Structure 1
Amino acid sequence: MIGRITQLFPVWAVLFAAAAYFSPELFVGLKAQIVPLLTIIMLAMGISLSPKDFINVFQFKKAVGVGVLLQFLVMPLTALLISYLLGFNTELTVGMVLVGSVAGGTSSNVMAFLAKGNVALSISMTAISTLLGIILTPLLIQLLVGERVDVPVSAMLMSLVKIVLLPVGIGLLINTFAHKAVAKANALLPLISMIAIVLIIAIVVALNAENLSQVGPMVALAVILHNSIGLTAGYYCCRLLGFNESTCRTIAFEVGLQNSGLATALAMKFFSPASAIAGTIFSVWHNISGSLLAGYWVRKKETPAKDTAAC
């Protein structure tokens, strides 16, 4: 039952976004809850991790290295290029670059499983990119849009420590020392995370209800292009490097599916509600595109490739 509810995440996200758009007063007052909600998501992510997930980084070191490089190179630069081509203003550009500069999202783990990818690799990549993002995200924002807007790098870094590192670390400790107790509640973690992200989406939509009809379609186009390029680059770069099909699919999801909830929270905290539109739309779209791609791949016969990703 819980699994069925969480599988309908895109539906819930659209329904709550619609409710927020037509009745923004229901969610505007919850603006201050965005960061606490994201903290809950990161805590749930930490509880789902174990020390083994970080040790696996060494087992899949080549694949992880390629994935992380693509993650923090292709996605930020693509976001900036798309924003430039579509003529976005500073607020929308910052929002796009934020989405491109954060770590991979936890939904990539689910998509990797559905697409018969390497789930252990997916979890390890999400874990390591999340930790690296604490430092890289503020630096990338400063590098790419620092000339157009004031980027509080130090404050953002400290917020990422509080919002990401501490909750994930606490969750990891809880899972390590109370694994049996946690195992009983594991089924609830995706549901809790889904409720939190749906509420974040609704709050941001409510705060942007007045101008969403004007900029929403263009931002949606940008998000679809951004996500598609990330998925494509992740997959075909790995094919060219000779990774096996399972690894190619996994890295495609890790590169293309972003922690857009974090991007949204950072936009609201350090920039403006308009800067959070990209992260909000991305949160809905990447679950739809990921599900469709996973469904396609699971029905598609794997293409042979030299297996260089196992080490």
Structure 2
Amino acid sequence: MRLSDFTEVFRRMPQLLLLGMALQYTVMPGLGWALSRRVTLDDGYAGLAAPLAVGIAVLSACPGGTASNIVAFLARGEMALSILMTAASTLAAVVATPAITAALAGTLVPVDAKGLFVSTMQVVLLPVLSGCLANQAFPSAVARISRFTPAIATLLVAAIVGSTLAASAGAVRGCGPALLGAVAALHASGFLLGYVISRAFGLSPKICRTMSIENSTLGAVLAALHFPDPLTAAPCAISACTHSVMGSMLAAYWQRSSAGEEGPAAGSAAVAAPKAA
């Protein structure tokens, strides 16, 4: 992306962008708080409750990720909005993710908010700014390199998820149903509330589909770096798999049910001049 992309979104669709970020950083943390409390109150997993709950809190505090853009495309969502929402929520994560994580998980375990802030800057802000500046200064070179970056990013995400699950494999087997159920509930509730709240604002089904689909792998990185128990990162790793399965199923349904909607050009025009936000 170029630096001009960020200024363009504020010019063309500020209401939708702000609504998407508000949903990302209020609905998901609220769901994460409720689910983490449910896990800590479950006596059957008393020894695993705290790290599981912290992992769910970290997961719910993270921004949208690039996998959500793919699901939005398959679901016939508004791609321009999806990409820009991911970019904006990623930049906001530098402050929002450490603050929300500290608020949600600070009562369970000690949370190094400053360390989370520094790591989020290193993982999120520095790569984004470096990429934007490189694209601005060396567009031809970046265009050549960008042909390979999606495959590299996919391999890196797979490595992060795989190593996280491997490190906590024994504990995950011991609490599999509780962990999978909590992560699935977080995503299912996020999909539903994101769509319903967007519809309540009078937005089109295409925009609502886009608003409801968000995910992130950042949580696995932060959990692995700042929490000693390897199980803390497990919900984030499970989330990558769960979101892909649930998102693909929703995308297939929406793709069939939205076959008669406007094409990409019309959808882009609708975003440029939204009826309600």
Normalised-by-shorter TM-score class: 0.7 to 0.9
What secondary structure does 1:225 align onto? helix
Gap change, CA 1:262 and 1:105, over 3 Å in 2? same
2:95 counterpart letter in structure 1:
I
User: How many corresponding residue pairs?
Assistant: 257
Gap change, CA 1:262 and 1:211, over 3 Å in 2? same
Alignment partner, residue 125 of structure 1: 85
Contact map agreement 1:92 1:275 (CA 8 A) in 2: yes
Alignment partner, residue 178 of structure 1: 138
Alignment partner, residue 31 of structure 2: 78
Offset from partner CA, 1:3-49 (integer Å, 9 cap, x none): xxxxxxxxxxxxxxxxxxxxxxxxxxxxxxxxxxxxxxxxxxxxxx2
Alignment partner, residue 50 of structure 1: 2
Gap change, CA 1:308 and 1:173, over 3 Å in 2? closer
Distance 2:215 2:8 in 1: 21
Shift of 1:52: 3.4
Q: Confirm whether residue 275 of structure 1 aligns to residue 235 of structure 2.
A: no
Distance 1:221 1:284 in 2: 13
Alignment partner, residue 292 of structure 1: 249
Alignment partner, residue 99 of structure 2: 139
Contact map agreement 1:62 1:309 (CA 8 A) in 2: no
Q: Which residue of 115, 127, 132 maps to 1:167?
A: 127
What secondary structure does 1:199 align onto? helix
Distance 2:245 2:139 in 1: 32
Distance 1:206 1:67 in 2: 34
Shift of 1:308: 8.2
Shift of 1:285: 1.2
Percentage identity across paired residues of the two chains: 33
Distance 1:52 1:109 in 2: 20
Offset from partner CA, 1:225-265 (integer Å, 9 cap, x none): 10011111111111111011221111111xxx321x21011
- TM-score scaled by structure 2? 0.87
Distance 1:94 1:310 in 2: 40
1:55 counterpart letter in structure 2:
T
Shift of 1:268: 0.9
Offset from partner CA, 1:140-194 (integer Å, 9 cap, x none): 1111221221111111111111121111111111222222222233332221111
Query: Structure 1: where are the runs of 5+ without partners?
Result: 1-48
Distance 1:107 1:176 in 2: 25
2:154 counterpart letter in structure 1:
M
Shift of 1:224: 0.7
1:226 counterpart letter in structure 2:
L
Alignment partner, residue 266 of structure 1: 222
What secondary structure does 1:104 align onto? coil
Shift of 1:299: 1.0
2:3 counterpart letter in structure 1:
P
Alpha-carbon RMSD: 1.8
Gap change, CA 1:294 and 1:214, over 3 Å in 2? same
Offset from partner CA, 1:92-122 (integer Å, 9 cap, x none): 1110010000101111111222222111111
- TM-score scaled by structure 1? 0.78
Gap change, CA 1:176 and 1:150, over 3 Å in 2? same
